[in-house]
Copies of this chain bind each other. A is one copy, B any other.
Amino acid sequence: MSVNEQMYAYGASKSSIREIAAYGNARKAEIGADKVFDFSLGNPSIPAPDAVRKSIERLATMPATKLHSYTPANGLPEVRRTLADSLCRRYAKECEPVYGTDPIARPDDLYLTAGAAASIVISLHALTNPGDEVIVITPYFPEYRVWIETAGCVCVEVPADPATFEVDHAALESAITPRTAAVIINTPNNPVGVVYSRLNLAGTAAVLEKRSHEFGHPIYLLSDEPYRELAYGAEVPWVPAVYPATVVCYSYSKSLSLPGERIGWVLVPPTNPEHDRIVPAIAGAGRALGFVCAPALFQRVIADCVDVPSDLAAYERNREALTDGLSELGYEFIQPQGAFYLWVKALEPDANAFFERCRALELLPVPSDSFGCTGWVRVGYCVSHETIVGSMGAWKRLAEQYR
């Protein structure tokens, strides 16, 4: 009898992404910030829009007891109304074949949370039972495994299509068992930067429908969408329009550059066949996990900023400089359609060995082993433009080493 060994292990073993970032900071202090090219973290480099500051300043003058008091557990009704209306404005037309003219999101379908991590953890606790299996598509955000295991479930890795890094439907179908409760997808994707096409989503839906029917219970699609607004021209389909048994997890960390403020939501779409049981289960999981309510001030901020567009210009400029530069040097990579990551093929099979060569040249991407597959590195381009431009000499020398 002692402290919980599993929690101790989660706390004692840092994520390798964080370790690389810590090394980068130490190295910058040692040799100068402009000489280290740290592409490890997913911390937005563009500031929150000015509308956020204005909203905070306006809200600060509200009566304090009203502003800072407990909100209902699922969030302020007027905020949920504003968010639901915005989703209807943006996606109702796309959903018409499925929903007809019914609203695609109503205030009570939304549960405001302390960010996407909270959304996913709450959803996993609500949708699964201990011993269930939850499928992730490799490569995947490594915290998924921690959260799945904490809900008492088994994390089942299904490799993405090796050519497109979208879902491999045959691999998905064969991985589903009678214990499969849910599949997590993340589009636009971290770490690869692809956006799943409508066609690929439809194929996933067909597999899930078939297997749900076969096993006599819905297999839920957990759609993790913090990068929804960060797409460079590609269409990001509204997932519930393709598969009804979806639960959408959203966050304002990337779209409004508010990662530290912890604000997001879970949406249980009206068409989800278990809607009326999932909504209370989400509320129950939020209560059981100690969330109480999403931060009150920022509930109001996101309502104020609901139609403020994400400022993608800086990321687009970085993306172009990075892909143009690496392309010219002969690197292979997956053409990034969204998020702010470039997925670059390592120049040798062992991504960790490749990373060591990167590091020797002060380049700090993240080896793909952290995301559950071999042979690639993730290059986060949510950095200053100078970092991209300044790194090109090192990328060149690296390529030369492998000639």
Give residues in A with beta carbon < 8 Å to B.
1-12, 43-48, 52-53, 56-57, 60-61, 63-65, 67-71, 114-115, 117-122, 125-129, 132, 143, 146-147, 149-150, 178-179, 181, 215, 217, 257-262, 274, 277-298
Contact = CB atoms under 8 A, between A and B. Distances in A.
**Interface on chain A toward B: helix, strand, loop, or mixed SS?**
helix
Contacts of A1: 129, 132, 178-179, 181, 215, 217
Contact of A262 (B278, B282, B292): B292
A163 B17 CA distance: 56
A52 B64 contact: yes
6 contacts: A1-B132, A4-B129, A48-B67, A68-B258, A117-B291, A260-B295
Contacts of A68: 48, 52, 257-261
A71 to B, nearest CB: 5
Nearest to A58: B60
A144 B143 CA distance: 27
A292 B251 CA distance: 13
Contacts of A277: 2-3, 8
A344 to B, nearest CB: 24
B126 A70 contact: no
A11 B280 contact: yes
B258 A292 contact: no
B147 A11 contact: no
A260 B48 contact: no
Nearest to A59: B56
B7 A281 contact: yes
Contacts of A297: 56, 260-261, 297-298
A43 B60 contact: no
Contact of A295 (B11, B181, B261): B261
